[in-house]
């Protein structure tokens, strides 16, 4: 027996207690081995030890079959097969027999368990008996096998049911109403067998047995219930009956029906969760099998929640369609475990949610700061800070420690105190400024970095203390008896300044610390100078200036001053000296050289200026303390070239700046900053592609750009160790990482050989010629499992109607080593004409190897490829796309149907081929009709057009009538959808007014027609249409002729136009009219004007573009041809004279031979033509010459051949133009000849070419051409007619 797996739901209220589960749908009285295992998102754990268990005994099933042996009138031998499922130990068989329609059993016997046959004795001939056989176990008697048989008569198979109808349709079952022929005995039936065919199973003509029903085999009209059907599937059924003789024929299949829709049968299987980062998870699952969607509106629903807590807030996301088998969930908390479930949904609802999976997001920085931050002042330089830990939901990782950021109101940047350890929640800030307000925040940090700052900001002020020394003390005035001292407030006030104190005393020789006498302590807080008088001349005095706060007098500023008149500005200092040992990476040590020291004017301070890389000097330090011979200049840039200079200042002023020092370069240092946070992408199942960006500033390198160093390690392969003594990378132990060096300027690398399905941490640092700089913030990536390497084979695609294609391939064997890593198949398909630009996809369960792709365009070639996909992504596509074309269907409507008015009675239609031809277009059918009845009738016109036609000109429409035009394309299946448009023929609302004041002016070459511009209507006039007709003709038949071939040509947008003289007949009376056209339609016609075209107009041949028959070479050819004709005619005359003489001599000899009797001569037959050579005389040709007549000679009845009319070619454009205009009304048949087919007409047309005016067909000529009368071979006279048509090419004439 194959292994069966049941998934038990975990009892979350008793996670560590005993679990239980009930196994159902087991076989009766069967031994089973049961094992239990635990599983997580990573896979299955080990199985428990098997436990053997057996289900209980039950009554047996019905015996398998029943047959008959020797059958005579009084005896019947029965044979049976034991039940297929005995459901216990068979203890015997119960055989019973009675007459039909009787209640008393004639035989009722229990046979041993091994019995398989029994003989009924003492039967009555030709009587029906009811036989019942059942197996028996210790539990009881099982189902009976019942037959009705007539003694002495062999049973026959039943006929096929003649009526099968579907009564009731549900989602998984239907009721069939089955009726048998009444002539049959229904009681002889053993069971009904129902077979069904499901169209959605994509196995046409494959009938499968759906049910066997033995409970309703005893009536003519039976209702059978067929269950186990697929919801929302197309079925048809057929039924057959079975009796003891066997199974009869099946009925005629029912009509196709569709079962009702239902919610999907079960949820998707094998949900796999993949961690993307600290705030996002990616989920993918196995697609639901196609037959289990059970309805339309397919989609998936994903439910997720935090696994912590007893009443979590569950969120739900839905996919766009059933083809989306993956989804990304964002905005999650870092380092948090989430529980995920997925369900399949349709329009009726969702299935149950499937197996629960869990995944934890990656570590991140805390999303919230510590709470309850307090700050308490200890003294004037210390503050104690305390806080509570970050709430667990916002920690987003393992808290490694805290950073206390504090800033005074006088500073622009924060100072940071790092406190290691998650459990430490207090710290003391020392070395603070006295009597200063501080703003304090606390930040928790993880391995990834610093989190959010605490809020609100804690503030406190240090205690007050004595002040520092006043600043900027100097003596602006000093003479022999008095001095004035000035000062500024102390830089470090350390409290509220309440006043100043001045102390001074004459300086004793050899005493560096003279005793000071108090001069005045009552100077106010606003005083900044003080004058002392009565001093001794030429004496050094020491002055001390101090400030007081509430804590007392603070530090004094002590300076010496000389009373005398010898003070002057300091001498220019010497050139600064910088030795090799005085150069650092960010500092320079400068030695000061003073050229001359003036003790009477002591130097108070120095001003230093710095020039970097040849730029401008910038002041670096203005107040350098006195008595310092060396000074350290800090805050410089590594690797930068500098020059220095300085100036000395005393009470009188500042000296000139010294000479520049030698240019020195600071040493290179380690890079200051890391590159950008790296971007990680999985390249394969065991490799990662790392990309980063170079820092925006070259200053960050602090040296030559050597390259980068990439560190990486498996995040779950170590325990984080704290290392607070690691310098700038205080908690990073490089020994825990593997590294790879990348040369500059490459900014990417591929790390391979990693462990699949593990989390890795990656950092990047800059490397210069000194070493590597600080690492970037870590970035984690979880490697997905590898993409499947197996390639599906045996791909086929077959059209399944006009909008579906059936795609099949070979299934992936379950024994394949990659089967467990696969989730399903993806079928990619696209229209070949799109070249793959609009690729679509169908997702198929791994248990299926076919799919019906629906909603395709008709009669379109599609290409298909299939690939296996897993949690790691899509595998390789099948090698070569397989193509299939959907079957054709009815076409869509033609596109861009436009209806344009071309005259008062004509409409022009244009269209384009249908956007959805759905097959080969064989033609179009156009129908147009008047919308209103005319004389009680609706007049319509139907036109069939070829597939190449995309326009039609409708003529002879009724002015002022509304017409509807409908056109549809046609394929081999018939006409498709219609495109329609309606329009009013003639003038309508918004069209221009009728032009007026029509006038005609005649010149030698043309007629100019002018008119006044009418009102344009609702839109500008786009064109004018000028028409004319010959008034001398019958007005009922004379047609209006448009001057231009395209009357709506925009070049006709003027208030005049011209008519060439060749279009008019001299001496004829014409009528003219004009229409105006805009976007709304055509106007009413103008009033007509009459015009008589003059006869005597000299029309010189145009010089610019002579016709070919006016060329010299054509005239030369015609002359040469005429010469050949004349020679041929003369030769013909000579030959004719000889023949006549020969005939006369033959007549004489004939008469002599016949003794003077007049008998007819036999006719001579031309060998070439087969016609008798008979010379016909005509007075017009031969004049008064006398020749003997041969009227008595017999003639053949065969007509001589006529010259080919194909020897003269005509301009088809000219012919079609005049056919349209209706000018060609005279026909050659009026003169007794057929249309342009008599040899005389052809010869006349040729000879008339020698005139100045071109000739037309059928003897027609231009109006000014001379009239010729030509007689040929005694034929009719051909009179040239006035016509505007002309031949354009003469190929040959003989």
Q: What is the pLDDT of residues 479-496, one digit of tens each?
A: 888 999 999 999 889 999
What is the tens place of the pLDDT at every residue in 1108-1137? 666 777 888 888 888 898 998 888 888 877
Percent of the chain past pLDDT 90, that is, above it, reads 35
**pLDDT of the residue at 214:** 66
| C-alpha to C-alpha distance for 1024 and 1045, rounded to whole angstroms | 13
- pLDDT score of 1240 more than 50: no
**pLDDT of the residue at 553:** 92
| C-alpha to C-alpha distance for 1214 and 1220, rounded to whole angstroms | 10
**pLDDT of the residue at 1287:** 39
- pLDDT score of 462 more than 90: yes
| C-alpha to C-alpha distance for 1236 and 1287, rounded to whole angstroms | 12
- pLDDT score of 921 more than 50: yes
Q: Which of 97, 133, 131, 135 is nearest to 114 (CA)?
A: 135
Contacts 24+ apart (CB under 8 A), 1121-1129: 1121/1293, 1122/1250, 1125/1293
8 A C-beta contact, residue 861 and residue 834: no
Q: What is the mean pLDDT of residues 1027-1050?
A: 66
- State which H helix or E strand residue 485 sits in: strand 483-488
How far is it between the farthest Cα atoms of the chain? 198
- Residue 614's pLDDT band (boundaries 50, 70, 90)? confident
What is the tens place of the pLDDT at every residue in 931-975? 776 666 667 889 999 999 999 988 888 877 888 999 999 999 899
| C-alpha to C-alpha distance for 202 and 1253, rounded to whole angstroms | 79
- pLDDT score of 95 more than 90: yes
What is the tens place of the pLDDT at every residue in 1096-1105? 444 445 445 5
DSSP H helix total and E strand total for the chain: 4, 82
What is the tens place of the pLDDT at every residue in 19-50? 888 888 899 999 999 999 887 766 678 889 89
**pLDDT of the residue at 1131:** 87
Residue 919 burial class via C-beta count within 10 angstroms: exposed 0-12, middle 13-18, buried 19 and up:
buried
- pLDDT score of 1275 more than 80: no
| Least confident window among 66-75, 996-1005, 1186-1195 | 1186-1195
For residue 422, CA distances in Å to 183, 369, 370, 402, 733 come to 94, 13, 11, 8, 19
Q: Which residue has the tokens 């590594």?
A: 638
Highest mean pLDDT pick, 852-856, 986-990, 1089-1093: 852-856
**Residue bearing the bigger pLDDT, 63 or 1181:** 63
Tokens of 52: 């053997």
| C-alpha to C-alpha distance for 286 and 869, rounded to whole angstroms | 9
Residues 6 or more apart whose Cβ sits within 8 Å of residue 645: 576, 608, 609, 617, 657, 658, 659, 660, 661
pTM assigned to the model:
0.64
| C-alpha to C-alpha distance for 1002 and 1018, rounded to whole angstroms | 35
Task: Give the other-Cβ count within 10 Å of 569's Cβ.
Answer: 16
**pLDDT of the residue at 1155:** 53
**pLDDT of the residue at 316:** 93
**pLDDT of the residue at 1189:** 41
- State which H helix or E strand residue 1282 sits in: strand 1281-1282
- pLDDT score of 418 more than 90: yes
Q: What is the mean pLDDT of residues 744-749?
A: 93
- pLDDT score of 739 more than 90: yes
Mean pLDDT score across all residues of the chain: 80
- How do strand 861-870 and strand 822-831 relate by DSSP bridges? antiparallel
Q: Which residue has the tokens 């160093």?
A: 709
Highest mean pLDDT pick, 343-357, 1106-1120, 1194-1208, 1279-1293: 343-357
Residues 6 or more apart whose Cβ sits within 8 Å of residue 469: 490, 545, 546, 554, 555, 556, 557
**pLDDT of the residue at 1153:** 60
Phi, psi of 1171 (to 5 degrees): -110, 155
**pLDDT of the residue at 521:** 77
- Residue 218's pLDDT band (boundaries 50, 70, 90)? low
Tokens of 687: 């490799």
**pLDDT of the residue at 1089:** 76
**pLDDT of the residue at 1106:** 61
């Amino acid at each position: 027996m194959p292994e069966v797996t049941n998934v038990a739901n975990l009892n979350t209220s008793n996670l560590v207690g005993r679990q239980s589960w009930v196994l159902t749908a087991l076989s009766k009285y069967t031994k089973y081995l049961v094992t239990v295992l635990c599983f997580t998102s990573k896979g299955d754990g080990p199985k428990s030890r098997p436990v053997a268990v057996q289900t209980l005994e039950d009554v047996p099933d019905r015996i398998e079959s029943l047959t008959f042996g020797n059958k005579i009138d009084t005896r019947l031998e029965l044979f049976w097969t034991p039940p297929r499922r005995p459901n216990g130990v068979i203890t015997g068989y119960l055989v019973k027999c009675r007459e039909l329609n009787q209640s008393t059993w004639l035989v009722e016997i229990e046979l041993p368990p091994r019995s398989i046959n029994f003989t009924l004795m003492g039967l009555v001939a030709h009587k029906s008996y009811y036989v019942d056989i059942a197996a028996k176990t210790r539990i009881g008697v099982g189902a009976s096998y019942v037959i009705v048989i007539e003694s002495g008569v062999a049973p026959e198979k039943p006929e096929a049911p003649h009526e099968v109808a579907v009564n009731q349709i549900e989602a998984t079952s239907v009721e069939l109403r089955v009726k048998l022929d009444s002539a049959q005995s229904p009681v002889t039936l053993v069971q009904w067998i129902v077979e069904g065919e499901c169209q959605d199973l994509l196995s046409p003509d494959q009938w499968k047995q759906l049910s066997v029903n033995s409970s309703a085999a005893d009536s003519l009209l039976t209702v059978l219930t067929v269950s186990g059907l697929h919801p929302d599937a197309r079925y048809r059924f057929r039924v057959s009956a079975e009796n003891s003789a066997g199974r009869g024929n099946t009925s005629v299949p029912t009509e196709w029906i569709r079962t009702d829709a239902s919610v999907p049968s079960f949820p998707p299987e094998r949900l796999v969760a993949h961690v993307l980062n600290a705030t996002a998870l990616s989920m993918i699952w196995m697609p639901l099998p196609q037959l289990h969607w059970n309805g339309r509106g397919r989609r998936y629903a994903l439910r997720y929640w935090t696994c912590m807590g007893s009443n979590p807030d569950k969120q739900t996301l839905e996919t766009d369609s059933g083809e989306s088998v993956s989804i990304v969930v964002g905005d999650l908390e870092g380092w948090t475990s989430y529980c995920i479930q997925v369900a399949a949904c349709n329009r009726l609802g969702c299935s149950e949610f499937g197996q629960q999976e869990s995944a934890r997001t990656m570590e991140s920085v805390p999303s919230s700061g510590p709470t309850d931050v307090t700050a308490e002042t200890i003294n004037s330089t210390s503050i104690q800070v305390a806080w509570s830990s970050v709430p667990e939901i916002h920690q987003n990782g393992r808290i490694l420690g805290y950073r206390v950021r504090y800033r005074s109101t006088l500073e622009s940047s924060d100072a940071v105190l790092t406190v290691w350890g998650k459990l430490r929640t207090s710290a003391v800030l020392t070395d603070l400024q006295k009597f200063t307000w501080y703003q304090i925040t606390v930040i928790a940090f993880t391995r990834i970095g610093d989190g959010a700052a605490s809020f609100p900001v804690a503030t406190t002020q240090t205690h007050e203390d004595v002040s520092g020394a006043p600043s900027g003390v100097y003596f602006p005035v000093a003479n022999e008896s008095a001095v004035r001292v000035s000062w500024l407030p102390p830089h470090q006030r350390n409290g509220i300044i309440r006043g100043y104190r001045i102390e001074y005393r004459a300086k004793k020789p050899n005493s560096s610390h003279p005793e000071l006498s108090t001069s005045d302590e009552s100077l106010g807080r606003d005083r900044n100078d003080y004058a002392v008088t009565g001093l001794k001349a030429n004496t050094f005095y020491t002055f001390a200036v101090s400030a007081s706060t509430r804590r007392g007098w603070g530090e004094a500023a002590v300076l010496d001053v000389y009373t005398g008149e010898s003070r002057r500005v300091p001498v220019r200092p010497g050139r600064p000296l910088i030795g090799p040992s005085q150069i650092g990476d960010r500092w320079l040590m400068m030695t000061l050289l003073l050229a001359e020291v003036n003790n009477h004017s002591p130097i108070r301070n120095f001003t230093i200026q710095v020039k970097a890389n040849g730029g401008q000097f910038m002041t670096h330090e203005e107040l350098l303390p006195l008595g310092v011979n060396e000074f350290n200049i800090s805050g410089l840039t590594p690797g930068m070239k500098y020059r220095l200079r300085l100036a000395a200042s005393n009470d009188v002023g500042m000296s000139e700046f010294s000479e520049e020092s030698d240019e020195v370069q600071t040493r290179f240092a380690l890079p200051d900053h890391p590159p950008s946070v790296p971007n990680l992408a999985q390249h394969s199942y065991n490799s990662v592609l790392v990309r980063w960006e170079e820092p925006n500033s070259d200053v960050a390198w602090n040296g030559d750009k050597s390259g980068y160093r990439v560190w990486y390690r498996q995040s779950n392969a170590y325990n984080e160790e704290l290392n607070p003594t690691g310098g700038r990378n205080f908690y990073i132990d490089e020994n825990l990482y593997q590294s790879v060096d990348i040369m500059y300027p490459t900014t990417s690398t591929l790390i391979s050989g990693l462990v699949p399905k593990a989390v890795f941490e990656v950092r990047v640092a800059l490397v210069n010629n000194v070493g590597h700089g600080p690492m970037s913030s870590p970035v984690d990536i979880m490697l997905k499992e590898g993409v499947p390497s197996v390639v599906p084979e045996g791909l086929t695609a077959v059209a399944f109607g006009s909008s579906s294609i059936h795609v099949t391939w070979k299934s992936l064997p379950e024994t394949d080593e990659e089967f467990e890593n696969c989730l399903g198949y993806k079928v990619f398909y696209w229209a070949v004409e799109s070249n793959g630009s609009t690729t679509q996809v169908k997702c198929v369960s791994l248990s299926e190897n076919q799919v019906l792709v629906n909603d395709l365009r008709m009669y379109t070639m599609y290409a298909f490829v299939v690939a296996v996909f897993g949690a790691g992504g899509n595998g390789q596509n099948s090698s070569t796309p397989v193509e299939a074309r959907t079957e054709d269907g009815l076409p869509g409507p033609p596109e861009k149907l436009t209806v344009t008015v071309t005259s008062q009675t004509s409409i022009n239609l244009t269209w384009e081929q249908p956007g959805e031809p759905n097959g080969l277009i064989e033609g179009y059918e156009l129908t147009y009709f008047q919308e209103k009845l005319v004389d009680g009738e609706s007049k319509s016109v139907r036109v069939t057009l070829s597939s190449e036609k995309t326009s039609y000109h409708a003529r002879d429409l009724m002015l002022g009538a509304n017409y509807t035009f409908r056109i549809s394309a046609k394929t081999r299946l018939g006409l498709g959808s219609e495109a329609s448009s309606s329009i009013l023929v003639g003038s309508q609302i918004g069209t221009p007014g009728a032009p007026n004041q029509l006038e005609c002016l005649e010149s030698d070459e043309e007629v100019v027609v002018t008119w006044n511009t009418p009102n344009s209507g609702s839109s500008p006039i786009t064109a004018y249409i000028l028409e004319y007709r010959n008034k001398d003709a019958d007005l009922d038949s004379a047609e209006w002729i448009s001057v231009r071939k395209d009357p709506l040509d925009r070049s006709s947008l003027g208030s005049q136009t011209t008519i060439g003289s060749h279009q008019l007949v001299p001496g004829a009376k014409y009528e003219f009219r004009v229409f105006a056209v805009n976007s709304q339609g055509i106007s009413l016609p103008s009033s007509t004007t009459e015009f008589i075209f003059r006869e005597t107009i000299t029309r010189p041949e145009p010089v610019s573009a002579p016709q070919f028959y006016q060329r010299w070479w054509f005239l030369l050819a015609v002359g040469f041809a005429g010469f050949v004709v004349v020679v041929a005619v003369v030769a013909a005359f000579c030959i004719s004279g000889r023949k006549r003489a020969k005939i006369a001599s033959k007549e004489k000899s004939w008469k002599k031979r016949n003794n003077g009797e007049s008998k007819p001569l036999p006719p001579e037959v031309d060998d070439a033509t087969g016609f008798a050579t008979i010379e016909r005389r005509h007075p017009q040709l031969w004049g008064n010459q006398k020749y003997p007549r041969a009227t008595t000679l017999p003639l053949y009845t065969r007509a001589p051949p006529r010259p080919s009319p194909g020897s003269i070619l005509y301009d088809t454009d000219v012919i079609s133009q005049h056919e349209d205009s209706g000018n060609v009304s005279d026909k050659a048949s009026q003169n007794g000849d057929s249309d342009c087919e008599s040899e005389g007409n052809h010869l006349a047309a040729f000879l008339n070419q020698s005139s100045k005016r071109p000739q037309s067909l059928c003897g027609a000529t231009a109006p000014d051409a001379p009239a010729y009368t030509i007689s040929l071979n005694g034929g009719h006279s051909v009179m040239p007619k006035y016509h505007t048509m002309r031949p354009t090419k003469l190929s040959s004439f003989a």
